[in-house]
Amino acid sequence: MTLATLTISATIPARTAELSDSWLTEFMGRTGQASDGELEVSHLSVLLMETVQGLALREGGRYVDGTTGEGGHSQAILRAEPQVKSVLGIDWDSRSLETAQSRLNEFGGRFQQASGNYVDMAGLAAAKGISKVDGVLLDLGFSSRQVVKPGYGLSFQVDEPLDMRYDPQGDLTAEDIVNTYDERELGQLIRRLGEEPRGMSIARAIIKERPVTTTAQLASIIGGVLGRRRGQRVNPATKTFQALRIAVNDELSNVEHGLEAAVDLLAPEGRLVVISYHSLEDRIVKGFFNREAATCVCPPRLPVCVCGQTPRLKIINRRVVKPSDEEVQSNPRSRSAKLRAAQRI
């Protein structure tokens, strides 16, 4: 694959950064593979070129990758032209951050890591002597590594304890939720966060089988309620697992507070790029961008504006940017990704 073969599904204004064809080909070709002495990388970064474009990189600029994962987007930013000064990589999964640091050793001090939640990016940046940045990236998806590697409890394809924490030091686990919530609480959680219409039926079945302690046991219970149609590609447990993962990691609240933190940290004309993967996240991002770009947030019934709203953002792409057909073909997990970009005023 070369840079020329990638297409953008929605317009992002004039390109200010370049990735070499040879590097992108090498990156896409070797991801997920390892030879002697080569770092194994299990995650394909989504909308890689579009992310770099959306950030509109500045010569000598400082950037935050608030959800670093294994460092694919950080690597793209650091290898792009014009050359940026540094990227601060934040992730609360210390296991992924270790992989990212090893992967990005070639950049020396231009890559700095910080273990923590992107909600706290201002404090994490200040600890590195950074008060303002020229761009923030938030890729809200979880890593393929967190699905295929043991110890996370995020996948119904591997039987392991029901954990689902990104941060292994976190207090709440999926096992806690399925074994302590009452039927109404659990059912509403599955319906709201998983957008699963039969959430109450699933909750009822889970409670009958308590204690539920492993991913395979939970997936079997859900499958017994929903069944599986011939040719159905998506596992029937997907939506319930999504709901539990979101609840365990407080993901939606983190998105709301993380967007606010990002805008506060951005320097004038700095860019915020957000990649979301399901409607709940994207709705929050879209709503936040629209509010921060509005000149008035008064109720429609008022005859004159009294809010005194001062816009903080300018929306860069009114239509979301989605992966090309080619990217979806090479990385099916990218199919639901939506990129939105905005600029600090």
Closest CA to 275 of 337, 203, 185: 337
Cα(276)–Cα(211) distance, integer angstroms? 33
pLDDT band for 156, please (50, 70, 90 cuts): confident
Domains of the chain, with CATH numbers? Answer: 3-145+252-344 (3.40.50.150), 149-250 (1.10.150.170)
Cα(120)–Cα(81) distance, integer angstroms? 29
pLDDT at res. 35? 33
- The encoded tokens of residue 42 equal 């299990």
287-303 tens-digit pLDDT: 999 999 999 999 989 99
Measured in whole angstroms, the distance separating CA 38 from the mean position of its chain's CA atoms is: 26
Q: Please give the average per-residue pLDDT across 29-56, as a whole number.
A: 67
pLDDT at res. 23? 41
pLDDT at res. 17? 53
Q: Please give the average per-residue pLDDT across 12-18, as a whole number.
A: 49
- Would the pLDDT of 5 be above 80? no
- What sections of the chain are H helices per DSSP? 21-30, 48-55, 72-79, 94-103, 121-126, 144-148, 174-180, 183-194, 199-208, 215-226, 238-249, 251-265, 279-293, 325-330
Cα(286)–Cα(315) distance, integer angstroms? 10
Whether the upstream peptide bond of residue 303 has omega within 30° of 0, thus cis, is: no
pLDDT at res. 147? 67
pLDDT band for 262, please (50, 70, 90 cuts): very high
Percent of the chain scoring above 90 in pLDDT: 75
pLDDT at res. 142? 78
pLDDT at res. 30? 39
Q: Please give the average per-residue pLDDT across 223-239, as a whole number.
A: 86
- Would the pLDDT of 16 be above 60? no
